Amino acid sequence: GFSQSQGVILNASVSQSNFMGSGKQVSFAINNSDLNQTYSFAFTNPFFTVDGISRGFNISYRKTDADEVDIARYSTDVFSTGVTYGIPVNEFDRVRFGLRYENTVLTSGIFASDEVNQFVLDNGDKFDTISANVSWSHDSRNKAIFPTRGDYQQLSLDLALPGGGLEFYKAQYKLESVRPLPWGMTVSVKGEIGYGDGYGDTNGLPLFENFFAGGARSVRGYEDFSLSPLDTNGDPLGGNLKTTGSLEVYIPIPSDKFKNSVRIGAFFDVGNAFGTNDKFALSELRSSVGVSGIWISPMGPMKLSIATPINDQATDEIQSFQFALGAF
């Protein structure tokens, strides 16, 4: 894959949905980009019980270098392992819950900002956490790729349990609603909100758990991760609150050959991320308008957009043309 912010993204994965005829799912994946190096292994039993409850185990290692994509100057090495159960509620709804152990090593850069150095001073640079997570999802879309009708919602909560190296929580809600319009057009409304904070002995959300906005999959027309509070170096630090939204109208392709692999549209995006000390204000939300295109190519999804920011500020990083290969 390719992303303007992360450069060339090398992905390799091996998966088996019926491992040795057992019906179990096994997968191994490698992801390498300027931002992340990830190695993961997962084993899932989709029919752990006769009622359709699934159980999955996973183990992964992830190295993140935030400075490589012009975020705050730090890097993290994270080893994690966990177990997740999935419970089907009905045809459209599913609940998941699990436990995850993480060992995180934080390395601050030579010229790290005051915020990064203060976090290390207050909390240290090595953390062992056990997190409980629960989520609910609803998916009534008529198809996974280029849906024309239906809704998708996801509500999730992650809680780093007391007694660990860090104590915090994160809650996120995502929505996509798709409806048909006259003349074969489709309208899509998307929204996302995320909030997190520390509790107990942890003051605020850990900086490597912060939220960011901006980019080809967020508020288009602004560079990836650029919409957030800035640290003392002028780099995006992220915030504990993120809110984004999008209204997009897709125009039908007048070709039977490409109607299932190409989609073009016009959009309006809005959003931003806010820090603990920031007061949320509608006037601080950034927005843009533009046109977009997606092609499901043999190499994977190719997504491009041309956007014009509406209310950008002097400190914003503008990127009118954005291109990504390998993911929606």
Q: For 137-146, how does the pLDDT look when each residue is reduced to its tens digit (9 = 90+)?
A: 999 999 988 9
- Note whether 286 and 314 are within 8 A (CB): no
pLDDT tens for 248-302 read 999 988 888 888 899 999 999 999 999 988 888 999 999 999 999 999 988 788 9
Q: With beta carbons less than 8 A apart as the criterion, state whether 158 and 131 touch.
A: yes
209 phi, psi to nearest 5 deg? -105, 5
Can you list the domains of the chain with their CATH numbers?
A: 2-325 (2.40.160.50)
Tell me, what's the pLDDT at 190?
98
Per DSSP (E only), the strands in the chain are 2-3, 7-8, 10-16, 25-32, 36-45, 54-65, 74-88, 93-108, 126-139, 150-160, 168-180, 186-198, 221-222, 241-251, 262-274, 286-297, 300-309, 318-319, 321-325
Q: State the amino acid at position 111 in one-letter form.
A: F
What pLDDT is recorded for position 133? 98
Please give the C-alpha separations between residue 28 and each of 59, 97, 163, 324, in angstroms, as whole numbers. Answer: 10, 22, 32, 23
Alpha carbons 254 and 240: distance in angstroms, whole number? 44
pLDDT per residue as tens digits for the range 147-202: 999 999 999 999 999 999 999 999 999 999 999 999 999 999 999 999 999 999 99
Mean pLDDT of 198-215: 95
Cβ atoms 193, 220 nearer than 8 A: no
Q: Is the predicted pLDDT of residue 84 greater than 90, yes or no?
A: yes
Average pLDDT for 83-104:
97
Q: Which tens digits make up the pLDDT trace of 222-241? A: 999 999 999 999 999 999 99
Chain segment 288-318, per-residue pLDDT in tens: 999 999 999 887 889 999 999 999 998 899 9
Q: What is the pLDDT of residue 3?
A: 52
Q: What is the DSSP letter of 140?
A: -
Q: Could you give the residue ranges of the DSSP H alpha helices within the chain?
A: 114-123
Map residue 193 onto helix, strand or coil. strand
Determine how β-strand 150-160 pairs with β-strand 168-180: antiparallel
pTM for the model = 0.90
Neighbours of 258 (CB within 10 A): 12
